[in-house]
Chain A
Amino acid sequence: MGPQHPMTHGLWTLKIKVDGETVVDTEPELGYIHRGVEKICESRDFTQITTYCDRLCYASANTWSHAYIYAAEDLLGVEVPERAEYIRLIAVELQRIASHLMWLGAYGPDIGNLSALVWCLREREMMMDLLQELGGSRMHYNFPRIGGVKRDLPTGFALRARHKVKLFLNRMQEYEALFDESTIFLIRSQGVGYTKAAEMINAGVSGPNIRAAGVNYDIRSAHPYSVYSELDWEPAVERSSIKGADCYDRYRIRMEEMRNSANLVLQALDKIPGGAETYHEPGDPKILAKAPSRAPEGTSGSHHFEDSRGESMFYIVGGGEGRGKKPYRVSIRSPMFITIPYAAKTMIGYKVADIPAIMGSFDPCIGETDR
């Protein structure tokens, strides 16, 4: 199947050996949009790399640029003002909602319901409007800066954000009516694509896919990196089936994560220091700390980040060509690059019709996979 195939959510090939309608063996084939970002980053300044990180995953741009920014701050040793951390958290969680909505919208046609796609994209537009107010662009925001954020919350953002997030929480009941109360969806998604927790951890799978299997491992709580520890929330955990997490559990966990993220956004809007309504000019020390632009030879920085698809990571070695203005090596850890081979193996033994159901439930994003 592929590279041009409705199942793939992107551009990759899944070589499938079928016996009648039953899948016997699978092998993924990646690299169709391999762009060599890691090589290009070696010849860019630390600030220029953010745009490439935005374009790593087209469904969740903010999470990737923030992952890079945290690693770069780890490399350059920057203390970030707290207000900037809150603004980042708001941006990341809104992006997480948008990404999960995109997944849900893409998962509807996988099982044959087109209206789910259109509805989810309709709600995604609201989140993108909010992010557009922050970042200025529609998809690739280039929002975070080393040491802070590009811009403060615009005036009236809190009001609109609260209103839209609450509206979204109401609209989620529509999806649950469309998916959960449809027996056809249940018999399609339940009992296919079982995955076990320990097996997934050993295979490098993380994020919602592992939380669907009944464990609450979350980078945000295991390796706390932002102001998540100051907000009142818990990572959503799905009670999986005995044989492991199936597609229905992975669907449920993402719905729960959307609720969690909405809850986080609302809390952060309340708790943000200085209040959500005060506006600081760009470059104000309250939202942007001074950061060195050079990293000496041999220093390295790394950071584990809870992406909307799993654990994303950047490892940056400073002191490259350009006498430290540019990194010597930037290495990107993409969750889906590790997850897709594992997901391809989980669908052995199921029907051909289950391939989109199983593959889509892992939320593949090829932009980050091929880099």
Chain B
Amino acid sequence: MASTDWLDINGWVSLLVGFSMDTVHDLLPFYQSEFASVQPMLETLISTSIICTIIFGLMMTTLLALTWIERKFIGRLMDRFGATTSLRSLWVGESGVTAGDWWNQLPLGIGAPIGWLNGILNSIAGNDHKLETISRVNNRGYHGIWFLLPGLFQNVADFVKFASKEHIVPEKADKFVFEIAPVIILATTIMVFAFIPFGPHIWAANPELSLLFMMAIFGIAPLGVFFAGWSSNNKYTLIGGMRSAAQLTAYEIPLLITVLGVAVLSGSFNVIEIVDFQIEQSDTWNIFLLPLGGALFLITMIAEVERIPFDMPEAEAELVEGWWTEYGGMRWGLMFAAEYMRSYAACLLFALFFLGGWQFPFEDTLASLPVIGGAIASILSLVPGVVWLIAKAYVLFAGFVWVRASLHRVRTDQILEFGWRYLLPLSIVNLGVAIYLRLEVWTGESWPIWAAPTLSLIALALFIIYAIDEDKDALAYSRRPYNIQASDKAYPGKHKE
């Protein structure tokens, strides 16, 4: 059985398309039998295209918020505001300088609503508003109204600007490869989303082996990265491309083995079935059964999307901008978007594989509460699952941003050593744990009551022990050095040998 959701977009679309096709079939004066023969194909075609459009729009709109989260959150971590560009600056000009009531230039008075809206906004959040006055004083984009979403439209402005920039191809660059590389990266990255179910009934394609398909496509982008680095005819980009290729190949393998563990545990290569297994059959999220797998997946995914601390390919310090140094304008904007899409896909996959996909946390537990359970269940059933999925993805991405703000960058050889010497064996261990759980512990209907708590408690204990050791180690390093004022004797750190 599959988890259900009232937001049945696939069903609705197929229903709509089927109905319209039937009407067309009925209204056809002739060739009805021939049309009937091609009608299923036509329906599939049209409905698939509609679904793809919906999924793409959903992905892009939510991606906008993703970049916004990054800028705002890292800004707050650094005691800054982050971007505060508000949409209102689109029709009122720049700190006093405006082009007048430009909406009156529009013909047929179609600009009247804009002027009306501006009047209303001025009356609500105009210069008489105290926040507005403060914002004017320190020249901020905040206009006192929350639904203008200060900063959210910064990304819109960026991409509009990228679109209007000149396109420069370096003289000695390999033009064809230089042009094709962003296309490869972007296309494969978007293709990944075709196999990501945003809900039980919101997916563009759902083959039996969608997991393998997704991972295979996810691994194509490094090729484009290498193309980009090589074709720019620039030393920095070449080094960046090389590093990227080495690092991504080093982290693909543990990633795949970890995902294989998830597949073994859930007994399917289909993402939707994996989520359904967590929701319906086992009533337990995989993160409680495979905590090690979750950690490995997160680390390898951070490395795959090349974020700090694993962002060697675009290390600003030594390689100016890494493998996209030579790219400017819209190509760079597209690759920039592709980077965020990869991060977004990583968060979504983690939520799907380990966090129960589109299920509200502890939904069944809450629903089984004695008195209020029914009410909670009915309330939760009103909320479509895609909301929970995207919320989980956002929280995970905030974690990515947190890591980026608080960690340094690892050297190339250290990255590769970490990948090959620690992550690979750990992922194999994780696979063994998954096989054991599936074969021995899994009764067929449900997990024994001890399974999830025991495993998660063991993982928690291990993590705490490791963290304590880590802290001792760090303290030993960061003890006061030998100093005449320092009373305590200096500790010979590990690096002194």
Which residues of A line the B interface, CB within 8 A? 1, 5-7, 21, 108-115, 118-119, 122, 176, 178, 180-188, 190-191, 216, 233-234, 236-239, 241-242, 246, 248-249, 252-253, 256, 351-356
Contacts and interface: CB of A to CB of B under 8 A. Distances in A.
Given A184-B408, A190-B495, A191-B495, A118 B478 contact: no
Interface of B: 74, 77-80, 239, 308-309, 311-312, 315-318, 320, 405-414, 470-471, 473-475, 477-478, 481-485, 490, 492-497
Given A118-B80, A186-B477, A109 B495 contact: no
A133 B239 CA distance: 48
B245 to A, nearest CB: 13
Nearest to B319: A352
B481 A188 contact: no
Given A109-B317, A355-B318, A182 B496 contact: no
30 contacts: A1-B318, A6-B317, A7-B317, A109-B316, A109-B317, A112-B315, A112-B407, A113-B408, A114-B74, A115-B74, A115-B78, A118-B79, A183-B470, A183-B473, A183-B474, A184-B407, A190-B494, A234-B484, A236-B485, A237-B483, A238-B482, A238-B483, A239-B481, A239-B496, A242-B497, A252-B481, A253-B481, A351-B411, A351-B413, A353-B411
A234 B485 contact: yes
A237 B311 CA distance: 35
A180 B478 contact: yes
Instruction: Name which of A109, A183, A239 has the most chain B CB atoms within 10 A of its CB.
Output: A239
Contacts of A119: 78-79
A126 B473 CA distance: 33
A183 B311 CA distance: 17
B320 A5 contact: yes
A248 B473 CA distance: 15
A28 to B, nearest CB: 16
Nearest to A253: B481
Contacts of A182: 406-408, 474
B239 to A, nearest CB: 7
Chain A to chain B: the 4 pairs with minimum beta-carbon distance, closest first: A112-B409, A180-B478, A190-B495, A239-B482
A263 to B, nearest CB: 8
Given A112-B316, A118-B79, A246-B495, 9 more contacts: A6-B320, A112-B407, A186-B477, A234-B485, A237-B484, A241-B496, A252-B481, A351-B412, A352-B239
Contacts of A354: 411
Contacts of A241: 495-496
Nearest to A5: B320
B471 A181 contact: yes
Contacts of A242: 496-497
A17 to B, nearest CB: 11
Contact of B315 (A216, A236, A353): A353
Contacts of A234: 484-485
Given A181-B475, A184-B407, A112 B485 contact: no
A251 B270 CA distance: 51
A209 to B, nearest CB: 15
Given A114-B78, A188-B410, A252-B481, A356 B317 contact: yes
Given A111-B317, A183-B470, A353 B485 contact: no
A111 B411 CA distance: 9
Contacts of A5: 320
Contacts of A352: 239, 318
A190 B474 CA distance: 13
B85 to A, nearest CB: 20
Given A241-B495, A353-B315, A353-B318, A111 B474 contact: no
Given A5-B320, A191-B495, A237-B484, A111 B409 contact: yes
Contact of A356 (B318, B405, B485, B495): B318
B482 A237 contact: yes
Contact of A239 (B315, B317, B408, B490): B490
